[in-house]
Amino acid sequence: MMHTTDVLNLFAEHRGDAIVIPGRGGRHWVNISESATDLPLGDPAMGGHAGFGLGLALAQPNRKVVLFDSEGDVLMSLGMLATIAEQAPTNFYHFMLDNECYATTGGQPVPNAKHVDYASIARGAGYPRALAFNELEPLRRELPGILRQPGPVFVALKVLPEVENTPIGGRVRWRKRAADKVVQDLRAELGVP
């Protein structure tokens, strides 16, 4: 398994001008990059990050859109994979951080946590490319090629859980901008009214 911070730092080396939706990796990503093309939205509603990424990729076909989804979100919205595959945005790079649990609620396992083959599910839903990595070094070798080829691509990544047991009200807030401000900042950057 990998550390989420290591995955994100590795990706940052190859990011280029991609729009990044860090998803559940947001708390780490804000320490790596915080610009108008970074979209640390927190968790507007579970299961929706992939849809947001799809919409953004369709709206901005000339920019790479990179999403760091989670396995809990993907499980909640498996049908979204078929929608993404049908739309087939070539600029969409769908990474999934799989820590095998609901880390923000105390680490309870997701259903069938250790036995779900997400890359196979994505492939079965129609993604032309789907890969899985358990360790950092193979990912380090393959990542440039993954990002060089057209999407949509699904990349499942096994990461170590970072379980939170502090009551939500007592947690340190990591977001530097409100979610609606994040969206407006992006629109301003893209020059859309």
Partner 1 sequence: MSATSAGALSPETVMQQMKRNGVTDIVWLPDSETNWLFLLMQADPDLRLVGVTREGHAASIAAGLYAGGRKPMILIQNTGMMESGDSIRGWLMGLQVPVVLMVGYRGYTRHGVNSDTAATYTERFLMAFNLSYYLVENDADADRISVAFQEAERTRKPVVVLVGDEYHGFNR
What element of type H or E holds 144?
helix 136-148
Shortest spacing between CB 160 and partner 1, in angstroms: 27
Contact 125, 81 (CB under 8 A): yes
Q: Is 13 in the site for partner 1 (CB under 8 A)?
A: no
C-alpha distances (whole Å) from 41 to each of 38, 67, 86, 88 are 9, 11, 25, 24
Q: Phi/psi of residue 183, each to 5°?
A: -65, -45
The site that binds partner 1 (CB under 8 A) totals a number of residues, namely 34
Q: Whose Cβ is closer to partner 1: residue 12's or residue 59's? A: 59
What element of type H or E holds 167?
none
Q: Is 85 in the site for partner 1 (CB under 8 A)?
A: no
Q: Is 44 in the site for partner 1 (CB under 8 A)?
A: yes
Radius of gyration of the chain (CA): 16
| Residues between 154 and 193 with contacts to partner 1, criterion CB under 8 A | 179-180, 183, 186-187, 190, 192
Integer Cα distance of 129 and 143 in angstroms = 13
Q: Which stretch binds partner 1 (CB under 8 A): 52-60, 98-106, 129-137, 163-171?
A: 52-60
Give the SS3 label for residue 125.
Answer: helix
Shortest spacing between CB 37 and partner 1, in angstroms: 11
| Residues between 23 and 42 with contacts to partner 1, criterion CB under 8 A | 39, 41
Name the residues that contact partner 1, by CB under 8 A.
Answer: 39, 41, 43-60, 77, 79-80, 82-83, 86-87, 179-180, 183, 186-187, 190, 192
